[in-house]
A and B are shown apart, each in its own frame.
Chain A
Amino acid sequence: MATDQLLLEVKDLKTYFFLEEGTVRAVDGVDMVIRRGQALGVVGESGCGKSVTARSILRIVPRPGRIVQGEITLHRMRESKNGRTVTEAVRLTDLDPMGVEMRSIRGAEIALVPQEPMMSLSPVHTLGNQIIEAIMLHQRVTKAEARERAIHMLDLVGMPRPSRTIDRYPHELSGGMRQRGMIAMALCCHPSLLIADEPTTALDVTTEAQILKLIRGLRQELGMAIMYITHNLGVVAQTTEDVIVMYMGKVVEEADVDSLFHDPKHPYTRALLRSIPRLGQRTRERQRLESIRGSVPDPYALPKGCSFHPRCAQAIRGVCDREEPPYVEVGPAHKVRCVLYC
């Protein structure tokens, strides 16, 4: 599948949470583009706005959050009357979040694999019930056909004995099996974009490796685009081609995986990479792992200027704490939001 075709454009997205204590600018002007079949990693610490960005795209931002500004456009492939496939641009931000059209996109065009496989399935319904429901919601099939497809999908995600597992309740399945079930549910309507929101965070390392391999394989087989949200840079290196680094609701750096790992520009990205242990370092060279000093600022009182400056080792007094840094291009498709590269 051609990867130069646009699939999703996010322009200047701002999603704020209006709480009694104040307004939290969870997503504060995010731009991103996802092409058909592309695997994009979104990296950042907890609370940096990655998950809220995903929920904004799906239009399921929980109350009291609201998209206050920006555009999200999905380029949807459709079969026209004469049988040819045409692409039409749907502006998701203009749709009623609970309306028919948004619901026909959610789950069918854009699907979500959530973070907590333990909690993300209804405890009182069988796995099959929940997958078949998703299939029948978006496709005109009978219940028997839907069941057939669900079993096929479970088989595809490597569920052992799918025709029996389908009638199991979530508590009868292990964490890895539940996550396979969630992936099957997300993929059952062949979405063009799969949003995986830290899908392996709650799993042990062995299971994580299996699930990552599964997602990579399924992407090749089904050709969908993946937006992979994680705080784990190692996972990004394994699964994606391009990366976006987020900090306090903003994109601070974007690049392809190679450039980002070998030539990180933003002080935050560099600090993130330095905080990962590396294999193969000789004992003599071995040093203490660095951590990023300070902690994430109070979301109600963001620092003025660059929101990273209080933690940044290279902050320039009088510049970084005054003005919002510009987003500069430092290489082909490599951009960074920092005054050091102006």
Chain B
Amino acid sequence: MLGYVLRRISIMVPTLLIISIISFVIIQLPPGDYLTSYAAQLRTMGDIVQQEEIDALRQRYGLGQPVYVQYFKWITGILLRGDWGQSMEWQKPVRDLIWERLALTMVLSGVSILVSWFVAIPIGVYSATHQYSIPDYILSIISFVGVGTPGFMLALVIMYVAMTAFGLNVGGLFSQEYLAAPWSWAKVVDMLKHLWIPVLIIALGSTAGSIRTTRANLLDELNKPYVETARAKGLPEGRLVWKYPVRVALNPFFSTVGWSLANLISGETLVSVVLSLQTIGPMMLRALTSQDMYLAGSFLLLLSTMTVLGTLVSDILLAWVDPRIRMEA
């Protein structure tokens, strides 16, 4: 098992290197660079921009160099000095910008995944064991509506309702007074107070999907002979369903932990924009549109790393819950 994990980790290194090259190149692909979009922005605001000024800036940031030189500088900076480069738009080092947002994103996504599992699994199990009953039909309709409702729209509706009916502003992750404040216990409490609305909105889509997955998988398992064996032993129905078929039916959850993390992050972008949450999504979107390449590249690299790590974690989890996989490993 340990050998397997080590082998997997050693494969991850070249994978991540290739991903970093590809993402860096893709960010550079659109014509122009940050300074062209910056100059265009200034011009729309009526400023007169001198070409010499732009050229001087381009020189300073090293934007005139060939792509591979830029990439090499960037990646060695990360590997050797933990220097992720400079965000041109924010005029700050990338590492000062990303970590807090990354942490907030992880909290938001992690809590959303947990909430969606805690809601989806019992509902899915109920739906499958009561197949074609009236509650099953009702739950199925609700979960289909949930799958089909875009998160950002739900966010808008909730904001509107909260504002007009209760006079509440549900946007953001913090109250006004904590927004710029350093981290403290009070700030954490404040965050938890704000967290549940975005969590519910983000969890909705994946909950609905997970209900369907659980139901379908469990229906496949419920007619397997091993369930009948358990029943023939005299086990109570509830206990046997949770111990045997549910246990097997949940395998897909463990195997998708890896990418559900990355999925949630890209999924929450729109919701975060609407609710003005300080997570990765909106910042990355802006960095990509303004070609703030070191910031965007760093985000991409971090997300890829998380996905690759997540896949490893889910493989280890799977091997842990399913002895048949352990053998093959």
Contacts and interface: CB of A to CB of B under 8 A. Distances in A.
B235 to A, nearest CB: 6
B235 A137 contact: yes
Contact of B233 (A106, A119, A125, A172): A106
Given A103-B236, A119-B225, A122-B230, 4 more contacts: A58-B232, A62-B228, A114-B225, A120-B225
A106 B232 contact: yes
Contact of B322 (A58, A115, A124, A133): A124
Given A171-B323, A172-B327, A123 B226 contact: yes
Nearest to B322: A124
Interface residues of B, number: 23
Contacts of B226: 119-123
Interface of B: 223-226, 228-237, 243-244, 247-248, 321-324, 327
Interface string A106-137: 11100110111001111111000010011001
A98 B234 contact: no
A27 B243 CA distance: 32
Given A98-B237, A106-B232, A171 B225 contact: no
Contacts of A229: none
Interface in A85-116: 98, 103-108, 111-112, 114-116
A134 B233 contact: yes
A261 interface: no
Q: Kindly name the residue among A124, A137, A182, A185 whose own CB sees the greatest number of chain B CB atoms within 10 A.
A: A124
A169 B324 contact: yes
Contacts of A122: 226, 229-230, 244, 247-248
A320 to B, nearest CB: 37
Contacts of B230: 122, 130
B235 A133 contact: yes
Contacts of B231: 60, 106
Contacts of B243: 125
Given A114-B228, A122-B248, A123-B324, A62 B223 contact: yes
Interface in A228-247: none
A216 interface: no
Contacts of B229: 112, 114, 120-122, 130, 182, 185
A311 interface: no
A104 B234 contact: yes
A138 interface: yes
Contacts of A185: 229, 233
Interface residues of A, number: 32
A137 B235 CA distance: 7
Interface string A36-65: 000000000000000000000010101000
A106 B234 contact: yes
Nearest to A123: B324
B225 A115 contact: yes
Contacts of A119: 224-226
5 contacts: A103-B235, A105-B234, A122-B244, A123-B322, A182-B229
Contacts of B224: 119
Q: Kindly name the residue among B226, B323, B324 whose own CB sees the greatest number of chain A CB atoms within 10 A.
A: B226
Which 10 pairs across A and B sit closest by C-beta, in order of nearness?
A107-B234, A107-B233, A112-B232, A103-B234, A106-B234, A119-B225, A120-B225, A169-B323, A134-B233, A122-B226
Contacts of A111: 232
A334 B237 CA distance: 41
B304 to A, nearest CB: 32
Contacts of A105: 234
Nearest to A110: B232
B228 A137 contact: no
Interface in A177-212: 182, 185
A212 B216 CA distance: 39
A47 to B, nearest CB: 17
Contacts of A125: 243-244
A133 B228 contact: no
A84 B50 CA distance: 110
A205 B231 CA distance: 29
B86 to A, nearest CB: 51
Contacts of B321: 124
A164 B229 CA distance: 23
A119 B223 CA distance: 11
Q: Kindly name the residue among A108, A122, A138, A185 whose own CB sees the greatest number of chain B CB atoms within 10 A.
A: A122
A98 to B, nearest CB: 5
Nearest to B236: A103
A116 B229 CA distance: 10
A98 B321 CA distance: 29
B234 A123 contact: no
A133 B327 contact: no
Contacts of A62: 223, 228
A182 B230 CA distance: 11
A137 B233 contact: yes
Contact of B236 (A60, A98, A182): A98
A111 B234 CA distance: 9
A107 B232 contact: yes
Contacts of A98: 236-237
A130 B229 CA distance: 10
A171 B232 contact: no
A123 B323 contact: yes
A171 B237 CA distance: 25
A122 B324 CA distance: 11
A59 B226 CA distance: 16
B8 to A, nearest CB: 22
A123 B248 contact: yes
B234 A124 contact: no
A158 B223 CA distance: 30
A182 B229 CA distance: 9
A116 B225 contact: yes
A324 B163 CA distance: 77
A67 B226 CA distance: 23
